[in-house]
Amino acid sequence: MRTEPEILSPDETSFLVRQRVARLATADAGGNPHAIPVCFAYTPGAVYIALDEKPKGVPPTQLKRVRNIVENPGVALIADRYDEDWSLLAYVMVRGRAELVEPDIEEHASAVRLLRGKYHQYERMRIEENPVIAIRPERVVSWGALDEPDARPQVLDTVRGRRSVRRYVDKEVSPDLVDKVLEAARWAPSPHGRQPWRFAVITGRQTKERLADAMGEEWRSNLEMDGQDTEIVEKRLEGSRRRLLDAPVLVLLCLYLEDLDEYPDAERQESEITMAVQSLGAAAQNALLAAYDLGLDAGWMCAPLFCPKEVTEALELDPTLVPHALLTLGYAEGDPPKRRSRKPLEELIILRA
């Protein structure tokens, strides 16, 4: 067991962020306990819990957990994993002081974005109209196999649960996990089974810096050509550079066209290349879903597509490779601040015949 004031370790952070439900324990002024399962989102320095719509229409301020927090702000939140294999048991318990963040405070909007980013169900709930519970961690206790992946979710749960992550904790990703992610990518469908893609795995600091420098200079030229202000250009470049350097693992996805079928006419040859690009997207999606399934977090960066020559030269790759995208792999620093909304299914289906 480990106890540490105020801050979660990388192992504790990645475990907590991964969990979909936790138990919130509060007590009234007399010390009478009350515990309830809650959905939550974590960002360094705070755990947020929504006060969502209730079937009975009870005002949020009358909920027992809220009344307890007003009387006694000392709370505990515990996220745990149970498995019949007891070597996989684990939990993280966060103790701290809770408060209500009202809708007219800037922090409230950030908390709502975090919660909606983690739970798609909140997109259709008016949680922005109610206060949000904020827990300020003061003490953390953890135990068990925090590093082990959770029980395998259903496919649709994996698809919906996967998020694009920009910030990672300083925690190494084992080469074995990276290989498992790429093994999933290897099984993506491809034209004639030719697998027209190759992967470059980048973990060294110097290699990341070399790549970031090469991509940054080209991107700077593009942004300046677009007429963006110098301050905005520098801010965007710094954000992109940080994403590359802070991610424990970068996986460069390259298109490789040397093994494709060849046709005498340009139209069919162009279609062959299009199929190769489509299959590279399938390989990337396989990798992203596998990463989430294995307990990792990931992000997708398309920047190499805009400067393939610079990327190839920086990494000294074979010129027959065409860099298309970067996947970042690691353990999320906290719940990502937002998830892009999806159109309703009926808007996407154009024919049912």
Residue 70 sits in a domain whose CATH number is 2.30.110.10
| Structural domain includes residue 351 | no
Residue 185 sits in a domain whose CATH number is 3.40.109.10
Residue range 267-325, pLDDT digits in tens: 999 999 999 999 999 999 999 999 999 999 999 999 899 899 999 999 999 999 999 99
Domain identity same for 124 and 192? no
Q: Which residues, other chains included, contact 160 with Cβ-Cβ below 8 Å and sequence gap of 6+?
A: 120
Q: Dig out the tokens for 325 from the structure.
A: 């995208």
| Structural domain includes residue 245 | yes
Q: Dig out the tokens for 123 from the structure.
A: 């997109």
| Structural domain includes residue 165 | no
Q: Can you tell me the distance from the alpha carbon of 211 to that of 202, in angstroms, rounded to the nearest whole number?
A: 10
What percentage of the chain carries pLDDT values higher than 90?
A: 69
Domain identity same for 179 and 326? yes
Q: Is 176 helix (H, G, I), strand (E, B) or coil?
A: helix
What percentage of the chain carries pLDDT values higher than 70?
A: 95
Domain of residue 278 covers 175-330
Mean pLDDT of the 168-181 span: 95
Count of Cβ atoms closer than 10 Å to residue 20 Cβ: 13
Domain identity same for 212 and 300? yes
pLDDT exceeds cutoff 70 at 182: yes
Domain identity same for 74 and 135? yes
Q: Is 294 helix (H, G, I), strand (E, B) or coil?
A: coil
Domain identity same for 73 and 188? no
pLDDT confidence of residue 254: 97
pLDDT confidence of residue 57: 66
| Structural domain includes residue 214 | yes
Q: Where are the alpha helices (DSSP H) in the chain?
A: 10-18, 64-71, 106-118, 155-161, 175-186, 205-225, 230-246, 266-293, 308-315, 345-348
Q: Is 251 helix (H, G, I), strand (E, B) or coil?
A: strand
pLDDT confidence of residue 337: 74
pLDDT exceeds cutoff 70 at 120: yes
Domain identity same for 32 and 126? yes
Domain identity same for 104 and 242? no
Q: Can you tell me the distance from the alpha carbon of 182 to that of 176, in angstroms, rounded to the nearest whole number?
A: 10
Secondary structure (DSSP) of 40-108: -EEETTEEEEE----TT---GGGSHHHHHHHH--EEEEEEEE--SSGGG-EEEEEEEEEEEEPTTSHHH
Residue range 63-107, pLDDT digits in tens: 999 999 999 999 999 999 998 889 999 999 999 999 999 998 999
Domain identity same for 101 and 138? yes
pLDDT band at 4 (very low <50, low <70, confident <90, very high): very low
| Structural domain includes residue 110 | yes
Domain identity same for 133 and 8? yes
Residue range 7-32, pLDDT digits in tens: 899 999 999 999 999 999 999 999 99
Q: Can you tell me the distance from the alpha carbon of 120 to that of 244, in angstroms, rounded to the nearest whole number?
A: 28
Q: Compute φ and ψ for 90, nearest 5 degrees.
A: -165, 155
| Structural domain includes residue 349 | no
| Structural domain includes residue 60 | yes
Instruction: Tell me the C-alpha to C-alpha distance, in Å, between residue 221 and each of 210, 213, 217, 290.
Output: 17, 13, 6, 35
Domain identity same for 203 and 253? yes
Spatial contact of 304 and 323, defined as CB atoms under 8 Å apart: yes
Domain identity same for 147 and 188? no
Mean pLDDT of the 197-214 span: 95
Domain identity same for 197 and 323? yes
| Structural domain includes residue 160 | no
pLDDT band at 5 (very low <50, low <70, confident <90, very high): very low
pLDDT band at 62 (very low <50, low <70, confident <90, very high): confident
pLDDT confidence of residue 248: 97
What's the domain count of the chain? 2
